[in-house]
Homo-oligomer: A and B are copies of this chain.
Amino acid sequence: MPDAQSIPTHWYNIAGDLDVAPPPHLHPGTREPVTADDLAPLFASGLIEQELSTETDIAIPEPVREAYASYRTTPLIRARSFEKALGTPARIYVKYEGVSPVGSHKVNSAVAQAYYNSLDGVTRLTTETGAGQWGSALAFACARFGIDLEVWQVRASYDAKPYRRFLIETYGGTVHASPSELTEAGRAVLARDPGTPGSLGIAVSEAVEVAVKDPLARYTLGSVLNHVVLHQTVIGLEAVEQLRAAGEDNADIVFGCAGGGSNLAGLAFPFIREVLHDRAKTRVVAAEPTACPSITQGRYRYDHGDIAGLTPLLKMHTLGQDFIPDPIHAGGLRYHGMAPLLSHTVELGYVEGRAVRQTDAFAAAVEFARNEGIVPAPEASHAIAAAAEYARGLTEPEVIVIGLSGHGQLDLPAYDAYLSGKLV
């Protein structure tokens, strides 16, 4: 059972630990560094403080740790059967976030965001969601902290992938198909194109519009921003300790999938801390889909986080705010940009990108499932594929850590498509 006493007491903020400070977010109008006041209409005060903080260790409030205790610590699994199947001398460890109540790492930040909003007396949160991982995690957290939740879900997912919508509703949240008639942004899109499948960019605009009009409401984001990355460091902080408990000094290399970047950064930053303080030489690989290769193909520049340009300008690896990736099954990786903190560590040489094809990701995931019993989320499958390829090429033992950000039980039709040869 989860070991609540081993849950970290502090999140790790890499922004305070780097020699070169990360570039600030800029106000979209003035292009000056954003201030706490600029962000106040959008986010809870505790989250804004974290967004701008350069403290390295930020205490996890007790109510958040209690919520974590319902599923943390999460397992670090030695994947011996998978090692054998790959024929590698590597020792492969998998940090598995799929044991969370909604089956993914998203809960780690959702719980913190709901908590800080409850401290400010916020009674209503809004957000967008694609496939629904973030929406369902936030619905779980809002039920726990007594906050109403409205989620704008991209119309195409709302219609085609209803399971996570049902999950949000079971937790008591409300889901609107986006674009909706409830906002100016939504009505404008529907007037132009009544049959539109929607997009994350439109859904963001709707959720932001509703939040800023209601003084008791705030908006939340499930990745990209510094405070989200911060919350996800519980993953890596646990993994570093668990690896030691398993008798390993350090990881030689860490693989995680990267969409908005919070999952990989959450796993990797505590390992990079060891590197920064000369205690290890761990490499970090960000596995991203060839369909949306922000790190390997994007430019490192200031860009908006959304299509409508409502968010601050963020210095990041980006394919451009209007880039629309091909529809792949790893919906969580279909984002045009990359977390600024993660992009910064890429620039500093601590993280390297690797693009993985969807079919290669599923091939590795099926091999993993048949050997280790866990069906990976399609997002995490990209990390498994990159790690498997690396492990197969080794002739000497190395310690590999893979971030398994969630299970794929609500994504099984994608596995069916792969197994029956329908996937390209």
Contact = CB atoms under 8 A, between A and B. Distances in A.
Interface of A: 1-3, 70-71, 73-77, 81, 99, 101, 103, 140, 143-144, 162-164, 166-167, 169-172, 242, 366, 369-375, 409-410, 412-413, 415-416, 419
B162 A416 contact: yes
A1 B81 contact: no
Contacts of A166: 412-413, 415-416, 419
A374 B371 CA distance: 27
Contacts of A164: 412
Nearest to A107: B373
A163 B370 contact: no
B171 A419 contact: no
21 contacts: A1-B3, A1-B74, A1-B75, A1-B76, A1-B242, A3-B3, A70-B77, A70-B372, A101-B373, A140-B373, A144-B373, A162-B412, A163-B412, A164-B412, A166-B419, A167-B415, A169-B415, A170-B412, A170-B419, A171-B370, A171-B373
A75 B2 contact: yes
Nearest to A99: B99
Closest 3 CB pairs of A and B: A166-B412, A1-B75, A101-B373
Contacts of A372: 70
**Copies of this protein in the complex:** 2
A132 to B, nearest CB: 11
Nearest to A140: B373
Contacts of A73: 1
A47 B390 CA distance: 42
A74 B410 CA distance: 22
Most buried by B among A3, A166, A369, A419: A166
A387 B71 CA distance: 23
B1 A101 contact: no
B101 A170 contact: no
Nearest to A96: B1
A409 B70 contact: no
A163 B409 contact: yes
A416 to B, nearest CB: 4
Contacts of A366: 170
Contacts of A169: 415-416, 419
Contacts of A167: 375, 409, 412, 415
B103 A409 contact: yes
A104 B76 CA distance: 21
Nearest to A76: B1
Contacts of A416: 162, 166, 169
Contacts of A143: 369-371, 373
Contacts of A410: 163, 409-410
A103 B102 CA distance: 12
Contacts of A172: 370
| Residue from A163, A242, A371, A374 having most chain B Cβ neighbours under 10 A | A163
Contacts of A162: 412-413, 416
A101 B144 contact: no
Contacts of A171: 369-370, 373
A218 B200 CA distance: 51
